[in-house]
Amino acid sequence: MEKTDNLPHVSLRDRVDALLKALPIAVAVMNRDGVVRYGWNSAAENLFGRPRSEAVGKVIPLLDGGCSVDFADLLRRAATGEVISGTEFHYERRDGSTVYASVSLAPAANVVGNRQGTRAIVGLFEEITQRKQAEALLRESEERFRSVFEDGQLGMAIVDLDTRIVQANRRMAEVFGCAPRELAGSMVKDLSHPDDVADVAARIERLAAGNIDYFDAENRYIRKDGSTLIGRVVGTLIGSAGETRSRHIIAMLEDVTARRQTQEELSSTMAKLRQSMRQGIRAMAHIVEVRDPYTAGHQERVACLARAISQTLGLPEDEVAGIYYASLVHDIGKISIPGEILSKPGRLSSAEFELIRVHPQAGYDIVRSIDFPWPVNDIVLQHHERLDGSGYPQGLTGDQISYGAVIVAVADVVEAMSSHRPYRPALGIEAALDEIRKNRGRLYDPGVVDACESIVLTQGIDALVSSTP
């Protein structure tokens, strides 16, 4: 048997002391009056901000009056044999900082150093300041969310991944014409318009699957009274990815029914105004043709060709429409020219030609007071301008000329040369195309020339006119 007589003797006090020092939790051994008799390890020094030398033999600082609980009462209860477990409190240290902790108290007899055998009390203290701060922040965040949720001007609802409404706010209930408690437990599909159910369900499914981060869409929904509303809904997913039960959708709904109706009414009104504008333009074009029967149909044919060129070049639909309607009145200034000059069968004199040259400006003066939704005024004024500055009435060059006028210029030349005039027979389509080909890049835009040539050769101007509604 191995001898142990030579092993150093370790006292019980030393063993207890070593154990207390190693504990991460604060320990204090007190009498029933709160006087610290033993313990007060490093964790206690950190918790209370007092070294061991200031604590042992003195009343525990919690009895100074800065504690949120009646600690003296807890000591008395523990002295009678009651075990106090996990009582939370906060306490102001002498440096002014506030510490949150929990305390457990247990009675003990014959504690080391208590030779009289009087009852002592062991206190275990655990700091919970960080936890309390986190809880406070969480409560504050929850309160802010609750305030936004309950008092928000947008309808809000919490929806589970089965598309069941868990909770709805006051505004959401108002939109649907019911109480919030009536919405709770409802399925989203039961609130959706039958024709929109599949769309709504598919969007939620994509969000739940992580295919999209959020959705923002307008759909129709059914109010309690059976009427239809148009709601713009923004939805996002909350909760941990690995916790299916904690994942929910926050949906925010704005009732845009009135706005959509107003937009539709405005669109209808605008459509009627544009129709009236179109009719007015056609009436203006007819006036020119009445005064100049030899050019009857010229503006219509130029308009159809200019529209086809614009479409071939990929211009937006509204811009194409503007070029078409401007082309219908591009020669309206000719109403200011004496009829005998317009219908003169022979060659025009220099003076007569100068009168003809004023028709773009005269046309501009006629139409400029009309607030067209398209650049009609510029096209009327500039359709005889040329890229090199040789045109009229302003001698504009390159980008100074509106693109619509650049297109109409080519269409005008091709149609005019290929049609009969009082002063000459038709020169033919080949002569017209030859004119724009040889002046491609100098007088006329290359892209417009190429588009025009392709259209005329493959379709013909007559076909364009006959296909116009």
* CATH number of the domain residue 415 falls in: 1.10.3210.10
Q: Which of 153-162, 260-269, 359-368 has the least mean pLDDT?
A: 260-269
- pLDDT the model gives residue 138: 77
Name the pLDDT band for 103 (thresholds 50, 70, 90).
very high
Is residue 143 one of the residues assigned to a domain?
no
Q: How far apart are CA 453 and CA 465, in angstroms?
A: 16
- pLDDT the model gives residue 111: 44
More confident position, 371 or 424: 371
Q: How many domains does the chain have?
A: 3
Q: Which of 109-118, 146-155, 238-247, 276-285 has the least mean pLDDT?
A: 109-118
- pLDDT the model gives residue 395: 93
Please indicate, yes or no, whether residues 233 and 337 belong to a single structural domain of this protein: no
Nearest to 85 by CA among 115, 99, 105: 105
Name the pLDDT band for 115 (thresholds 50, 70, 90).
very low
What mean pLDDT do residues 311-332 have? Answer: 90
What is the share, in percent, of the chain residues with pLDDT greater than 70? Answer: 84
Is residue 27 one of the residues assigned to a domain?
yes
More confident position, 17 or 181: 181
Please indicate, yes or no, whether residues 317 and 390 belong to a single structural domain of this protein: yes
Q: Which residues pair with 59 in a beta bridge?
A: 35
What mean pLDDT do residues 346-366 have? Answer: 82
Please indicate, yes or no, whether residues 125 and 158 belong to a single structural domain of this protein: no
CATH number at residue 172: 3.30.450.20
Q: Of the residues 237, 255, 273, which one is the last residue of a structural domain?
A: 255
Name the pLDDT band for 314 (thresholds 50, 70, 90).
very high
- pLDDT the model gives residue 248: 87
Residue ranges of alpha helices (H) inside 117-164 are 129-151
Please indicate, yes or no, whether residues 73 and 206 belong to a single structural domain of this protein: no
Is residue 316 one of the residues assigned to a domain?
yes
Nearest to 172 by CA among 162, 160, 186, 189: 186
**Segment of 205-214, 269-278, 340-349, 404-413 carrying the highest mean pLDDT:** 404-413
**Block residue for tokens 């890229």:** 387
Is residue 270 one of the residues assigned to a domain?
no
Q: Which residues pair with 219 in a beta bridge?
A: 231
Name the pLDDT band for 112 (thresholds 50, 70, 90).
very low
- Indicate whether 320 pLDDT > 90: yes
Is residue 263 one of the residues assigned to a domain?
no
Is residue 302 one of the residues assigned to a domain?
yes
- pLDDT the model gives residue 423: 64
SS3 content of the chain, % helix, strand, coil (to 5): 50, 20, 30
As a whole number, the mean pLDDT across the chain is: 83
Please indicate, yes or no, whether residues 222 and 334 belong to a single structural domain of this protein: no
- Indicate whether 441 pLDDT > 90: yes
Is residue 280 one of the residues assigned to a domain?
no
What mean pLDDT do residues 42-58 have? Answer: 89
Q: Could you read off the pLDDT of 190-247 as tens digits, one per residue? A: 999 999 999 999 998 898 888 888 899 999 999 999 999 999 999 888 876 555 566 8
More confident position, 454 or 339: 454
Please indicate, yes or no, whether residues 115 and 191 belong to a single structural domain of this protein: no
- pLDDT the model gives residue 117: 44
- Indicate whether 455 pLDDT > 60: yes
SS3 415: helix
**Segment of 138-152, 268-282, 298-312, 357-371 carrying the highest mean pLDDT:** 298-312
Please indicate, yes or no, whether residues 47 and 99 belong to a single structural domain of this protein: yes
Interior angle at CA 103, CA 101 and CA 106, nearest 5:
170
Please indicate, yes or no, whether residues 119 and 87 belong to a single structural domain of this protein: yes
Q: How far apart are CA 32 and CA 76, in angstroms?
A: 6
Is residue 277 one of the residues assigned to a domain?
no
Please indicate, yes or no, whether residues 163 and 121 belong to a single structural domain of this protein: no
- Indicate whether 7 pLDDT > 50: no
- pLDDT the model gives residue 113: 43
What mean pLDDT do residues 432-461 have? Answer: 92
CA neighbours closer than 13 Å in the CB half-sphere of residue 188: 31
Please indicate, yes or no, whether residues 85 and 220 belong to a single structural domain of this protein: no
Please indicate, yes or no, whether residues 215 and 105 belong to a single structural domain of this protein: no
SS3 440: strand
Please indicate, yes or no, whether residues 408 and 299 belong to a single structural domain of this protein: yes
Question: What is the domain extent for residue 335?
Answer: 287-466
pTM (2 d.p.): 0.48
**Block residue for tokens 């009675």:** 107
Does the CA dihedral 174-177-179-184 come out positive or negative?
negative
What mean pLDDT do residues 164-183 have? Answer: 90
- pLDDT the model gives residue 8: 56
Q: Which helix (H) or strand (E) holds 159?
A: strand 155-160
Name the pLDDT band for 291 (thresholds 50, 70, 90).
low
